[in-house]
Structure 1
């Protein structure tokens, strides 16, 4: 489909559970190596068909507000921190891509690696991984600026 469309920009992204969803069932370092190799091959195949390729890092996981929020909790109780696993995966992914790589960590977390559940009154995530429509829409300017900067 990409070869037929020949887009100006191809945007790719992964998910937190990417390594757990490999068809081979590989785990740990074997899964990371398999993902890297697949990412390289896939991008090599796609690059000739797109004027530009941008790979977005997966955002660090958050807490599911449906289970985190209680009658006595406060928003800070639902905050998380960036994990070492996330850092390792994105570092590996950045190396593997050979394309323009955009680290999205600061789109959902602060510079200290703390990931709040809300920005102002807007919840960031629907569950532990998916952004709310409202928060995703608030990132439109950030995404546009990021894409134009490259």
Structure 2
């Protein structure tokens, strides 16, 4: 820098130096802005099959998904869609509308309505961010079948009637929110309540986490599943072994380095078992999304087709969930019917 700073042309005319400095700063700012809006490509492999199209156009969407999972990309696809920046930072309407409460939010949720707002059947998403992540699929399905879709979510707040630890204390705002929200759902009398929570939490106070979680889960089921209202539990999705987006960016030539195994992907298997047992005891339908994320071999890739599976260290990417819409729809209709009147198992 010194040859420029002390050049006689700028020492004699200070304004020239100031103008040059401002100009260079402006150029740098514009370059940074452009880089942020149009991030450089990280692709190191060839084009891969379009995940969304492959599943949507297949006569058997789940079979098509399984084939994609069995042959994941080894390198970052040249046609990756969306790009890593959008996967990591762009969010769906649930987040942009402030419908997904944070852990620090003390307010209580007002019903956030999506789907077909004039529909005569209602579906509720209830739980933490691991049910909010399924919004792209459920919103598309609700619009197609003319269902109202309500969202009630609060980060890290479990549907189970338990108090979990947060900041070295009880997560009391979760308990308060859960109580108010369950009362609201009961008043609404929807046809279907879809519940899901991440398994990543510790019990506040004494007791075995899995045991108490199962008891609390069964209690929530008993409260909600009455009259015409049915409950569906989506088990927690398999987790990657680290931040999947960061890992993919760091290893674009070897995405297998980022893949997890199904056996290592459950944060608390004992909690999953307790939730299954509670659902069976209360006659609640259960969907395990593991076959939608991991291949039959047990390999759980971070890129399937041309789409990143995760957006961070534990949440499924919005675009991947959107691609799963036909698979989710087929399972929902099989369980509850297009008019949500069917009782699973009957």
Deviation for aligned residue 1:112: 2.0
Instruction: Check conservation: 1:117, 1:124, Cα contact below 8 A.
Output: yes
Q: 1:14 aligns with which of 190, 197, 201?
A: 197
Deviation for aligned residue 1:129: 0.9
- State the Cα deviation string for residues 54-74 of structure 1 (Å, max 9, x = none): 100101101313431315641
Q: 2:243 aligns with which of 49, 64, 72?
A: 64
Q: Distance in 2 between the 1:91 and 1:84 partners?
A: 15
| Alignment match, 1:43 | 221
Deviation for aligned residue 1:146: 0.8
| Alignment match, 2:128 | none
Instruction: Check conservation: 1:2, 1:50, Cα contact below 8 A.
Output: no
Instruction: Check conservation: 2:194, 2:233, Cα contact below 8 A.
Output: yes
Deviation for aligned residue 1:136: 0.9
Q: How does 1:69-80 map to 2 (within 5 A)?
A: 69=248, 70=250, 73-80=253-260
1:109 aligns to 2:294 (yes or no) = yes
Q: Distance in 2 between the 1:41 and 1:66 partners?
A: 37
Regions of 4+ moved over 3 Å: none
Q: Distance in 1 between the 2:324 and 2:256 partners?
A: 22
1:123 aligns to 2:308 (yes or no) = yes
Q: Distance in 1 between the 2:252 and 2:314 partners?
A: 24
Secondary structure in structure 1 of the residue aligned to 2:238: coil
Instruction: Check conservation: 1:8, 1:51, Cα contact below 8 A.
Output: yes
Q: Distance in 1 between the 2:321 and 2:221 partners?
A: 26
Q: Point out which structure has higher relative CO (alpha carbons under 8 A, 6+ apart).
A: 1
| Alignment match, 2:271 | 89
Deviation for aligned residue 1:91: 2.4
Q: Distance in 1 between the 2:265 and 2:215 partners?
A: 19
| Alignment match, 2:324 | 139
- State the Cα deviation string for residues 102-139 of structure 1 (Å, max 9, x = none): 11101111112211001111000011211111001011
Paired positions, count: 145
Gap runs ≥5 in structure 1: none
Instruction: Check conservation: 1:7, 1:49, Cα contact below 8 A.
Output: no
| Alignment match, 2:232 | 54
Instruction: Check conservation: 2:247, 2:258, Cα contact below 8 A.
Output: yes
Taking a change above 3 Å as real, the CA distance of residues 95 and 64 of structure 1, as seen in their structure-2 partners, is: same
Deviation for aligned residue 1:82: 1.8
Per the normalisation by structure 1, the TM-score is 0.86
Per the normalisation by structure 2, the TM-score is 0.39
